[in-house]
Amino acid sequence: MAEAARRSGEWLVCRLGCTECCIGPFPISQLDAARLRQGLAELEARDPARAARLRLRARESVARLSPDFPGDPASGVLDEGEAAEERFDTLGDDEPCPVLDPETGACELYGARPITCRTFGPPLSCGSEAVGVCELCYKGATDEQIAACQVEIDPKAWKGL
């Protein structure tokens, strides 16, 4: 990721308070969920009041999203099929991530954030699959300039996963 940021230079505009990618739910893995639970436990030990506010935001978000969730809201497991995926894709489009501090725009569990959050922004690829590029970055850049910033990632080589 550091190499992608270095190559991107001024094109990469992601900074504290830029929360465009923190709106709307997205799927996470079991590993992401475990990392988030650990991060929340660490936050609870350091700052119980902040952890309590985060838990409240999470409960409120689940309450808002559960009635329309295309699957089991208790487990977070989606139903099978395209219809469930399509419903999930439009679920809570305006819903901020509960981990996002509404006052500062900071991720309260930044060190424990899901892989999607860790990789979003710069142009990355993993094998033959390209990973999303933030639409706020690379304004005015040509496809060639964006491609010159692209870095191949190896998720197995990442520490802390």
Q: Contact, 11 vs 138, CB < 8 A? A: yes
DSSP state, residue 13 = -
Amino acid identity of 123?
P
Report how far apart the first and last C-alpha atoms of the chain are (Å, whole number): 14
In this prediction, residues 124-141 reach a mean pLDDT of 78
pTM of the model: 0.78
Residue 115: what pLDDT? 86
52-86 pLDDT, tens digit per residue, is 999 999 999 999 999 999 999 888 888 999 999 99
Total domains, the chain: 1
pLDDT at 136 over 90: no
Give, to the nearest 10 degrees, the angle between helix 30-46 and helix 48-65: 140
Domain, as residue range, for 149: 2-157
Q: What pLDDT is recorded for position 100? A: 95
Q: Considering the chain, what is the average pLDDT of its residues?
A: 87
Mean pLDDT of 131-137: 78
For residue 3, what pLDDT band results from cuts at 50, 70 and 90? confident
Residue 21 is inside which H or E element, if any? none
Residue 126 has pLDDT above 80, yes or no: no
For residue 160, is pLDDT > 70? no
